[in-house]
Amino acid sequence: MFCGKCGKEVPEGKSFCTHCGAPVVKTDDKQESATPTTTPTPPAAMPAPPTPAVVAPPETPQVAAPGKKRKVWPIVAGIAGVLVIVAVVLVLVLVVFKGTSPAGTVASFLKAAQTKNVNAAMKVVDTAYFKGDSQLEALFKKEIFADLPNNVQFVGLEYTTSVNGNKATVEVTNGKANYTVDGKKKSIDFATPEAPRKMEMVKVGGNWYISPATFGNVFAGAYKKSGDKLANEELAAKATDLQKEFASLGAMMSAQPTPSSQQMKAAIAKVEPVLKEYESVSEKTKAEFQKILDLGGSGLDDYKSYAKAAIGSVDTSTAVFDESVGLMKYVADAKAQMETGAAPDANAYNQKIADFTQKTNDLEKKLSDYQQQMSDLDKQLQ
């Protein structure tokens, strides 16, 4: 006997194709895979349910190999954006403004930057930006001077400063930053449009402070890295555990003779705690990417798009697993109904399976789209 849908051979006595899950309807003592045009007689034995759709865990681009330092503030290929801070500050040292002016504040920041004195730098940073979030503030302190070269020289710098009430923006419009890395001379041309060169300032209590929003990429890069690490390690491990449980469950429920509803429910009960563990790690992973969405500042569009796709990917994979468990519970309940002598509605049973197949196919397509978005965005964020 062969399936009318996929064409593969179906063992005698099967009510469902063991390959594609299409229902097998008996006609004139012969069986063919087709959708009945009239209401079929309820099955005498429980049809084997289709193997649950199990997708791969949401993929995220692999984190950099140990020893390879990631630049969190890109301005030109391979150059840390923190150079922009130094460039702006050096320019502003030439201005006549002193004390609590934007330039005076940045000059103080420069002095701290030259010695990588984080404590001194924090005295001219708007700590209100952190809103009491000690983790966010600690991250800022850790990363602020992490990629700063030890020797930078600036030539022919020009700039503009604009003040709007309690906010100000300083922008380097021309000049170069020359520095040395591993004995090789490097240079950044601030006249090129690719080089970000703006610094945001805020006035609080009559004094000017540097807004951490200027360095949004510092936070976004760190949160992306930790989110990717969670997805690639912890979440992937839990997904592998789930795949094993579903494979075992599907084999048991498709066995002949059909297992009892009690046996089915006991097997499903073993899957549920593993799914809960997966969902727990999913929430932790999404929380890291949500931090990116909550960030203020400019130049974060790609990071935020990546975070949205990552959260969507995790939610979609969880939905596929949930749908699979829901289908298995439905099959177990139908079997329990049969054990009481009541005949389940064959049309409803077939429709449930058709709906499950359509929904999981849609979810898998959605998951693939999210992962493609993440892959494309990750290349831009390198």
Task: Give a yes or no: residue 67 inside a domain.
Answer: no
For residue 237, pLDDT beyond 80: yes
**pLDDT at residue 226 in the model:** 93
Task: Give a yes or no: residue 313 inside a domain.
Answer: yes
Average pLDDT, integer, range 360-370:
94
Percentage of the residues of the chain whose pLDDT score is greater than 70: 70
Provide the β-strand partners of residue 161.
Answer: 170
Residue labelled with tokens 């012969």 = 30
Pairwise CA distance, residues 148 & 142, whole Å: 12
Question: What are the CB-based long-range contacts (under 8 Å, 24+) for 348-352?
Answer: 349/43, 349/47, 350/23, 350/35, 352/327
- Is residue 183 located within the same domain as residue 227? no
Mean of per-residue pLDDT scores for the chain: 76
Number of folded domains that form the chain: 3
- Is residue 337 located within the same domain as residue 268? yes
**pLDDT at residue 318 in the model:** 94
> What would the two tokens of residue 211 be?
């807004």
Task: Give a yes or no: residue 56 inside a domain.
Answer: no
pLDDT greater at residue 284 or residue 343: 284
**pLDDT at residue 62 in the model:** 42
Per-residue pLDDT band for 260 (boundaries 50, 70, 90) equals very high
For residue 68, pLDDT beyond 50: no
For 286-328, how does the pLDDT look when each residue is reduced to its tens digit (9 = 90+)?
999 999 998 877 778 999 999 999 999 999 999 999 999 999 9
Q: Are strands 152-164 and 184-189 parallel, antiparallel or unpaired?
A: unpaired
- Is residue 241 located within the same domain as residue 356? yes
pLDDT greater at residue 275 or residue 4: 275
Lowest mean pLDDT among 198-212, 232-246, 361-375: 198-212
Amino acid letter, 101: S
What's the predicted TM-score (pTM) here? 0.65
**pLDDT at residue 319 in the model:** 94
**pLDDT at residue 292 in the model:** 92
Per-residue pLDDT band for 196 (boundaries 50, 70, 90) equals low
- Is residue 183 located within the same domain as residue 291? no
User: How do the residues of the chain divide into helix, strand and coil, expressed in percent and rounded to 5?
Assistant: 50, 15, 35
Average pLDDT, integer, range 176-197:
78
For residue 135, pLDDT beyond 90: no
Pairwise CA distance, residues 373 & 24, whole Å: 40
- Is residue 165 located within the same domain as residue 197? yes
Give the structural domain span for 17. 1-37
Task: Give a yes or no: residue 156 inside a domain.
Answer: yes
Per-residue pLDDT band for 153 (boundaries 50, 70, 90) equals low
Provide the β-strand partners of residue 201.
Answer: 168, 210
- Is residue 324 located within the same domain as residue 195? no
For 98-115, how does the pLDDT look when each residue is reduced to its tens digit (9 = 90+)?
345 777 777 677 677 777
Q: In 3D, which of 344, 323, 333 has the Cα closest to residue 262?
A: 333
**pLDDT at residue 55 in the model:** 43
Task: Give a yes or no: residue 296 inside a domain.
Answer: yes
- Is residue 199 located within the same domain as residue 229? no
- Is residue 371 located within the same domain as residue 223? yes
**pLDDT at residue 144 in the model:** 84
Pairwise CA distance, residues 47 & 42, whole Å: 10
Average pLDDT, integer, range 180-205:
81
**pLDDT at residue 79 in the model:** 37
Average pLDDT, integer, range 54-78:
39
Pairwise CA distance, residues 245 & 42, whole Å: 30
**pLDDT at residue 117 in the model:** 84
- Is residue 224 located within the same domain as residue 342? yes
For residue 172, pLDDT beyond 80: no
For residue 46, pLDDT beyond 60: no
Please report, for the domain that includes residue 228, its CATH number: 1.20.120
- Is residue 267 located within the same domain as residue 362? yes
**pLDDT at residue 342 in the model:** 87
